[in-house]
Structure 1
């Protein structure tokens, strides 16, 4: 599995229950960020005929770049990704989300990419939507993102906490 990028932020505790701040940087090196609790297993790999296949403008490279990888992780915070050769010998990138029982499998399709998705959530659709919001904002660096933390929710936002695009993150009870 690929390691996740590490984001560094500075939070100000407002009243003992709420904290808000901005990201200072996203480390471009592959480092382990504090993971959400790992699922007991990642589930079964999807069979070659599971899910629906479509073209996608984004290949797995968006997961590996510092800024786009940060934005992609926001769209699918419970997911794990890895590369593996299929029965035909071609490399595929698997995105598995055991929490949502969903998957996406990216494959080279001529000069472009295709994605095969299945489950309760369109994982790669969420990534595409997140990247579209980010591109529409001018592809800003991580330092333009902020974070709000409350006892029952965590949220990453772009530019403005009140009305900017935002992404909810999982909350680990008791942490």
Structure 2
């Protein structure tokens, strides 16, 4: 039996419980920044399922109960956070493969661009669930990032990007998903490889 699901941020536990062992769940995982991709899971028992991302056309409508909140969160004050240089600008969020990795690293974040009073166009990455933020600003030929809150978002993105590059920058089909009771992970290579937690709704 194959269960075809809508666009979701994680796999609802009810889907696993209601699918017979060896049954298949086919769903598009999507973060608030971008679509991650089509994942095919095989149900092992009433609480667990495992599978990989596969080639396929994702759906574009996210399930209503998992949609992003209307508020993006509060813009950080100009004096809030710490600033450093970064080798990565906002283009990593917009490119397909690196954007996939960034979404895994920052599962509750969204981003947008907005000009400052001096005309500089900054990119804001905001996590409305915990008020963490990163602000990317052009600095000559490079970029600076100012970040703060309980999670340093850009540090997380860069750490995940480094893991991905170390593995040879593979495509989404090299990533898999494990679902257990109360925990869901996306992993790279094998289930014991680097992994990222999916948000539990």
TM-score when normalising by structure 1: 0.88
The answer to whether the Cα contact below 8 Å between 1:106 and 1:113 also exists between their aligned partners in 2 is yes
Aligned counterparts, 1:1-175, within 5 A: 4-25=34-55, 36-39=66-69, 41-161=71-191, 163-172=192-201
The answer for unaligned runs of 5 or more in structure 2 is 1-31
Offset at residue 32 of structure 1 (A): 6.0
Distance in 2 (alpha carbons) for counterparts of 1:46 and 1:118: 9
Q: Give SS of 2:35's match.
A: coil
Determine the C-alpha separation between the residues in 1 that align with 2:83 and 2:165: 24
Show structure 1 runs of 5+ residues with no match.
none
Q: CA deviation at 1:40?
A: 5.7
**Structure with the greater relative contact order (CA < 8 A, sep ≥ 6): 1 or 2?**
1
Residue 173 of structure 2 aligns to a residue in which SS? helix
1:111-142 per-residue CA deviation (whole Å, 9 max, x = no partner) reads: 00100001011000000000000000000000
Give the TM-score normalised by the residue count of structure 2.
Answer: 0.77
CA 1:47–1:105: 2 relative to 1, 3 Å: same
C-alpha distance in structure 1 between counterparts of 2:56 and 2:193, whole Å: 20
CA distance in 2, matches of 1:47, 1:26: 42
RMSD: 2.0
Structure number, greater radius of gyration: 2
* Offset from partner CA, 1:80-139 (integer Å, 9 cap, x none): 111111111111110001212200000111100100001011000000000000000000
Aligned residues: 168
- Cα distance in 1 for residues equivalent to 2:188 and 2:153: 20
Which stretches of structure 1, 4 residues or longer, exceed 2 Å deviation after superposition?
31-43
Task: Report which stretch shifted further, 138-147 or 149-158.
Answer: 149-158
Contact 2:48 2:181 in 1 (8 A): yes
